Amino acid sequence: MTDFDLPTYVSPDAPLSPDGLEAALRDIGARRYHNLHPFHRMLHDGELNRGQVQAWALNRYCYQAHIPRKDAVLMARLNSVELRREWRRRIVDHDGEDPGEGSRGGDDGGIERWLRLTTGLGLDRDYVRDMVGILPATKFAVEAYVHFVAEMPLLDAIASSLTELFAPTIISERVSGMLANYDFVDAEALAYFNKRLTQAPRDSGFALDHVRRHALRPDQQQAVLDALIFKCNVLWAQLDALHFAYVAPGIVPPGAFRP
């Protein structure tokens, strides 16, 4: 299926060129991004039942809901006005605008769009927002991401967002696959993903450029690659937990959502 024994990309005494670093980052994505996980393939290919898709959307809500907190904790560490402005845009993307305060209007944000998906799947809005039925492993993975961004060097924290380099492919696969295969999913419920098709490349383009310009020493480059591996693990572990609880062997942990 895929090769998990990563090559050694960086040698301690010869830094990679920016293009070499980018190639190494893309190679990690090709080997470890969660589009390779069996749960993801089942989701795309229409092999899940409605309860399993509900469990996926419910748990993924926990991830979505933490992303603006992750971005805020990173923004809180930035000294540069320009970088903070760039990062603030990510928070607006997820949290949207308050329609009562003379905003540009219209965009209620990615979290609200995700709630349209969970509601479209028949889940109660308050149940989803309270996150009481989330798998503990989902919470642990998501919180590990927030803590990573709060505690690691800034370059690593920014690099951990680079999974978005690989998002457009998975999103277009996901939208077409889910629309074709599940009669309980409609285009309106998948509005979240259409927005991400333009947001993700803009964000990952900025972060990639930053990393290409600032990760110059071999130790920095290794740290950037490790940050991307960490983030791939955060995404992968969430699908492991979903697969274990809701597909095979199908042992739902105490207190978690039961379809």
Residues contributing to the site for its own copies (CB under 8 A): 2, 4, 6, 31-32, 38, 135-137, 139-141, 143-144, 147, 229, 232-234, 236-237, 240-241, 243-245, 247-249, 251-255
| Cβ at position 233, least distance to its own copies in Å | 4
CA gap 92, 81 in Å, rounded: 16
Judge whether 239 and 39 are in contact, CB under 8 Å. yes
| Cβ at position 39, least distance to its own copies in Å | 9
| Cβ at position 249, least distance to its own copies in Å | 5
**Nearer Cβ to its own copies (171/241):** 241
CA gap 58, 183 in Å, rounded: 18
**Nearer Cβ to its own copies (112/143):** 143
**Nearer Cβ to its own copies (60/243):** 243
| Cβ at position 45, least distance to its own copies in Å | 17
**Nearer Cβ to its own copies (41/212):** 41
Q: Which long-range contacts (CB under 8 A, 24 or more apart) does 173-176 make?
A: 173/35, 173/44, 174/43, 174/44
Judge whether 91 and 173 are in contact, CB under 8 Å. no
Q: Is the peptide bond before 12 cis (omega within 30 degrees of 0)?
A: no
**Nearer Cβ to its own copies (196/243):** 243
| Cβ at position 247, least distance to its own copies in Å | 8
The conformation of residue 13, written as its DSSP 8-state character, comes to T
C-alpha distances (whole Å) from 118 to each of 37, 109, 248 are 22, 15, 23
